[in-house]
Structures are given as structure tokens and as C-alpha cells.
Structure 1
């Protein structure tokens, strides 16, 4: 017999409620080699929303030559209509041109993406860390002037495939520089999935010492070394209440080949439900959605929970 739900044993060391920031539709799909039809992406987002996921990052207004999979950003938002805009439907923007396109599409929330390392900044943004901050300065200012909510991603917070271990002080500086622009929320990216729990605690403590509050900080772990859920639970035990995850465990980074999938939303929800934590998400409906998306992609979902429940 397959258990459809975890046995609930409340864990008082964890927060009472966790906000899931769903990245499957953007970060999850951006690295797919075969073009996914816009209507399939729209259906995926609608199905994700129907499961109870409130925050869904929809797409990215990057240059289509950088990320061809997301070249249909404007078309996708037009297809979604009101389902694709609002304060809980962020889109990624790389620069002012991207912001112009986002504003034209009537979005209400954006995300910018910086780097904790110089090498990745050059590969991902074509400029230094300091130059990228200056590129984002007018983006954040204009976004705030238009009343948009702004998130700041920082990549390579725990390790870099070219530079190796990243000093915590360097990560804190990168995070502070973006938050000082006026962003509302910070997301700490373990882009290549090398973090361990001790590193997570050390970084969170260092950020707190710098005045970067845990209630405005999210974590974004990749599962390259199987550590994403462990690192996430550690972060939750140390004051984090917002977690980035991807339905089915989809994802990767086109500029860091060693980056594999994101933390699977289903795996996260299974752990949280077992600890008595409210997520507001229907796990069965989400498993069905990820299984459907896996069919569209022609391969099984990476999520262990999806494999266990969808195959049962």
C-alpha cells in the first residue's frame, strides 16, 4: 500500500506556516531544449494556481537569444490574461528594456538577478558584480515608482563552478548591494547545489549581522548533490519562512552546466505536511499537475514524491 499522505508529527522548531515561491514555470522550464508551446505553459501555470500555490514566477523578459525557451514572455502573459499578472505573479527582468516590456504587459511584480561571484556575473550578465548593480539601479527605482514589488536573486551564494567556495563576506556584500537598491525580498541561490546545512546557518547569521532580515529573505536550493531539502529545513529552523521550489523538481541554469533541478515543490510539501506545517497547497493536485507536465516534456518528473504517488 502506498501512503498518500505523511503521518503528521508537529515539529515546534519549524515555523507555523511556510510561503512557497513556485519557480517551475520560469526557472523550471528555461533550460528545456525543445520549445514548449505557449498554451502548454499557460495551462501549466493555471494548473499550478489551482493547487493553491499563491506565488508563481511566470516567465522572464530576457533577450530571447539568451534563453530561447522564454522568448514568448509577452505572448504567454497575453494568453494568461488576469491569471498572469498581479502582486503574486513575478516576472524576471534583466535590465531596463526588460522592465519596459514587463510594464507594457501590466505586471505588478518583478525579480532581478545578481551574482555573488565575478565569473558568473560575466557569464550571466556580461558585466562585473558592481556593474550589474548599477544596471539594476534604474530598474528597481522605476519599478518602485510604478508600485511594483521587487525581488532580488543572488546566484552562487554557496559555491561557484569556476571560482570554487565563495567567501561568506563576499556573498553578504552582493546581497546587501542589491537590497540597498530598494528590493522587497532577497532570494539566496545555491545555483549548483553544493551547500550544506552548516553553510546555510553561517550565511543567514552573517546576513542578519549586516541587517538583512530573515523575514525578507528566501532560500533557493538546487538538488545537484541531494542536499536541497536538508538545507531548506535547516533554513526554516533558523527563521526563514519563504522557500523557492519547482513543481516536479524541474529546472537548471543555462549558464552553469553543473546545476541540476530545483528543490521539488512536492518533496518540500511532503516534509512540511509531515511536520504539521500549513502550506495551503493540495499535494495530490500538485502531483497530478507535475505528472501532466512530465508527459508534455516526455520524461519522468525528478521529484521523488511525484514518482512515488503518480506511479502508485
Structure 2
């Protein structure tokens, strides 16, 4: 089978097309014929050798897959062969097939396009777990989304609105802020500009924001914490900026706010039934048209390096997806543009 392989840790340009034996599902596993694979920040870290896990070389990155169940391993009763399914794995998705633990498999309803199905598990799973389970976001509250134009940020805008919150997006360029507004943010601010907290004060009437969704870290974290309302919740989601901030804890005391960690992968590992229920709810929302994952570009499998480079350069607004097979979207969904053309 075809796969995009990392032979040595380094930049994404080192990925090479290669052939691997098609895996056979072992006991407790399912063989998934991969149609689409989401491109995510952990994939970049894996290729660069900066992830907490280091797979043996050579390996195919790719941790968010959608496809068709092709075979069941010993002891596995379902899902049925031929059914549509998605899963979160650690690596192996930049390939035509992958063997996955059956417990990780989530059924995908008919009517969900492949590129959308490959965009739900990581970004939207993280966001719903963060906003509802960890942040207890309530209707009528104000949500600030940092790094709002990325895949996770766009998901936070959409789900924040779906939960009834007023969403303020923070992004670095006019183009990205415009994209955030198109996805449902009520306002968008430039969080790289000096004095950007003043804009937040104006937008909240001096009250501050109830919940901060922060997948970025870095220099913007402390100003965001200083902009919180009484009893606010600051959600620590990740550190895409590369810098883990050192926040002054006296701010949490003065504002009566909580700094809350969001470790979605560990939640999924420790509470698999709760995670499968969460993902099933998300896929139902997509099938019903209540949620529409924002896929800004798709790429064929052979252009996986270009997709990762676009992610590293922060050129994406929304999600990037590899179309591993010549998948045809269901009726009502436009065909994905070839070669990474932006939507």
C-alpha cells in the first residue's frame, strides 16, 4: 500500500512516498481503509522528533483518520465491514490503510463528507471537551478564542456559538479575522497589536471575558488572563507558539478565576466511553447540519509534506486534510479542490 514515510526526524520536506505491506488487524483491532486524514500540529511534532512519543523509523505520520472498515480482527464483533468510521490514533494515517484498536473506532453517519469526517475527532473533540466538560461554558457568557483562525480555533468559534456563547476571536491578520467573523464570531481582534486588551474592555463593557480558550500560549497568555471576568475559566489547551507561559497566580486569586488544564488525549484514554459519546454527538451535529467543519484546503496523499509545511507556516485558516483515496463526497457536498486549493 502507498504511504508517506518519515525516514529521519526533521522538516516535513523529508517525507517520501513509499510502499508498506498492508497491515492485518490483530486481536481486538479493525482494519480501516483510509479515505481522508486530518493534518494536525502533533503530526508536525512527530516528524520533527519533538513529540513526547517517537515512533520507530520509518513511520507514516497522521493521527486523525476516516475511512471504511475493511476487516475485523479476532474477538471484534463490530463495526460491520463496509461501514464508515473515524478514529484518533497517534501515527499511521498518512497511508492507504491502518490497523486500529476497535475501542478507538467511532461510526460516522451517512451524509458526512470524507474531509469533514477527518476533521471532527481531534479539533472538535478537544473543543467540546474543553468548553463543556472543563470550562462549563454557559449560554450568554463571553468566550475569547486565541489563535482563532487555526483548525482548533475555528472549531471553538463554531461550538461556542452552538452552546449559546458570545464569541470574540483573536487572530493575527485581517484575512484571518475576516475568516473568523464568517465562521460566526461576533467580533475579531488583533492580539498581536499593542494594547489589544483595551479592545476586549470595550467589547465587554469593562467586565472581561468569562472563558478563554488558549491553544497558543506564549506572550498573549498573561494579557488574556488579565482580561478575565470574575469567576472566569482560563482553558490551557496547548502551546502552538512554542513557549509555555509563566502566569502570575495572584491574578487567579484577585479575579476568583480558575486556570483549567485540557488534556483531550488523556481524557480519551482514561474515559473512552465518555469520549465515544462525545464524538458521536459531534458527528450527529455534522450530519444534521448544525455543525460544519471548516476545511480550508485538501491535498492528495503525495502532497503531505506541503500540507505540513502550510500548517507550520500558519498559512491555514481552518483545517487541512489529505484525501488518501479518490473519495467522492456524498450528495450535497462539493468535491474537494485538488492540490491544496483553498476553499
TM-score, normalised with respect to structure 1: 0.31
Relative contact order (alpha carbons < 8 A, sep ≥ 6): 1 or 2 greater? 1
Higher helix share: 1
Higher strand share: 2
Q: Which protein is bigger by CA-based radius of gyration?
A: 2
